[in-house]
């Protein structure tokens, strides 16, 4: 009887509601969309406040061109690095202070399309080789985590390190980090 009552109650629990994608929701304590968004916003704000941007603007008189490279996942969770990289790229574009060029597999796809145009497009619309904008700086980084768990309590500490390197001189012009600490009780 108690069991039936229990089962009956359980079956009433299924409920779906739509929420604002910007709303912070923490369920399991794992890395989630909120972490990705907050980290990328904080990192880009940090990066754009530093001297390298002013130095570049005064020397070159134009916005720097940035490419977002590999963000290595060295954490204990399967983190989709692409979502995180997209969030960083989006924050860069929204800042209007830097120009961004495509990297990774998307760049390969674009080059494939350009190659295809060489044989299939009309001469007047065909895009030419060798006119891509070369990046001045590359952003690279890693996501690390430390877990300390005891029975049903867990502290998860994430540290996201990003650095910006001048592609011409190999000089590191900026290093930033963002730390997130979560306590999960089960």
Partner 1 sequence: MFKKSTHRFVSLLLIIIVSSCATYYDKSRATERQLIAGNYDDAQKKIGANKFLAKKRNALLFNLEMGKVLHLQNKFEESNRYLNEADRLMEQYRNGFETAVGITVNPSLQPYIAEPHEQIMMHYYKILNYVQLGKMEDAIVEVRRLNEKEKALDIASNSNEKKYSQDPFGLMLMGLIYEADGNDNDAFIAYRNAKLSYDNDQTGLYQNNEPTSLEQALLRTANNSGIAYESKEKYDLNYAPHGELILFYESGLSPVKAEKNYFFSLSENAAGFFFQSGTIIVPVVYNFKGNNPNFNPASLGFIRLAFPYYVSRSSVQKNNSVSVNGETKTLELIEDISALAFQIEQDNFFKNLGRDLLRLTIKKIAELSLAQKNEYLGTALNIANTVTEKADTRNWQTLPSQIQFLRVPLKEGTNTIQLKTNDGKSTSFEIIGNGKMIFKNICEF
Considering only 17, 124, 169, 186, the residue that binds partner 1 (CB under 8 A) is: 186
Q: Does 9 bind partner 1 (CB under 8 A)?
A: yes
Structure tokens, 151: 């029975």
Interaction between residue 183 and partner 1 (CB under 8 A): no
Q: Tell me, what DSSP letter sits at residue 153?
A: E
Query: Is residue 19 part of the contact set for partner 1 (CB under 8 A)?
Result: no
Closest CA to 87 of 14, 22, 33: 33
Count Cβ atoms within 10 A of the Cβ of residue 84 and give its class: 0-12 exposed, 13-18 middle, 19 or more buried.
Answer: buried
**Minimum distance from residue 12 beta carbon to partner 1 (Å):** 11
3 belongs to the binding site for partner 1 (CB under 8 A): yes
Q: How many Å apart are CA 171 and CA 168, to the nearest integer?
A: 8
Nearer to partner 1 (CB atom), residue 2 or residue 16: 2
The smaller minimum CB distance to partner 1, of residues 39 and 75, is found at: 75
First to last CA, the chain: 29
Q: What are phi and psi of 151, to 5 degrees?
A: 50, -110
Piece in contact with partner 1 (CB under 8 A), picked from 38-46, 71-79, 128-136, 159-167? 71-79
Rounded distance between C-alpha atoms, residue 160 and residue 142, angstroms? 6
- Tokens 């130095």: give the residue: 55
**And the tokens for 84?**
């995180």
Instruction: Determine, following the binding rule CB under 8 A, whether residue 12 of this chain makes contact with partner 1.
Output: no
Number of residues that bind partner 1 (CB under 8 A): 22
Q: Which CB sits closer to partner 1, 1 or 131?
A: 1
Of residues 96 through 155, those in contact with partner 1 by CB under 8 A are 145, 147, 149-151
CB 7 to partner 1: min, Å: 8
DSSP annotation string for 72-89: EEESSS---HHHHHHHHH
Least distance to partner 1 from the beta carbon of 96, Å? 33
Interacting residue ranges for partner 1, rule: CB under 8 A: 1-3, 6-7, 9-10, 27-28, 30, 72-73, 75-78, 145, 147, 149-151, 186
């Amino acid at each position: 009887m108690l069991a039936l009552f229990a089962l009956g109650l359980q079956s009433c629990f299924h409920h779906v509601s739509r929420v604002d994608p910007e709303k912070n929701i923490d369920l399991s304590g794992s890395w989630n969309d909120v972490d990705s968004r907050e980290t990328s916003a904080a990192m880009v704000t940090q990066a754009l406040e530093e001297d390298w941007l002013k130095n570049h603007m005064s020397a070159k008189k134009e916005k720097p061109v940035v490419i977002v490279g590999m963000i290595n996942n060295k954490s204990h969770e399967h983190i989709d690095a692409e979502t995180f990289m997209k969030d960083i790229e989006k924050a860069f574009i929204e800042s209007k202070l830097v120009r961004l060029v495509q990297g990774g597999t998307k760049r390969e796809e674009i080059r494939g399309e350009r190659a295809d145009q060489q044989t299939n497009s009309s001469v007047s619309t065909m895009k030419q080789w060798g006119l891509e904008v070369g990046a001045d700086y590359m952003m690279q980084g890693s996501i690390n985590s430390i877990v300390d768990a005891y029975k049903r309590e867990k502290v998860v500490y994430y540290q996201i390190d990003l650095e910006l390197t001048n592609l011409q001189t190999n000089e590191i012009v900026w290093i930033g980090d963002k730390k997130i600490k979560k306590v999960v009780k089960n």
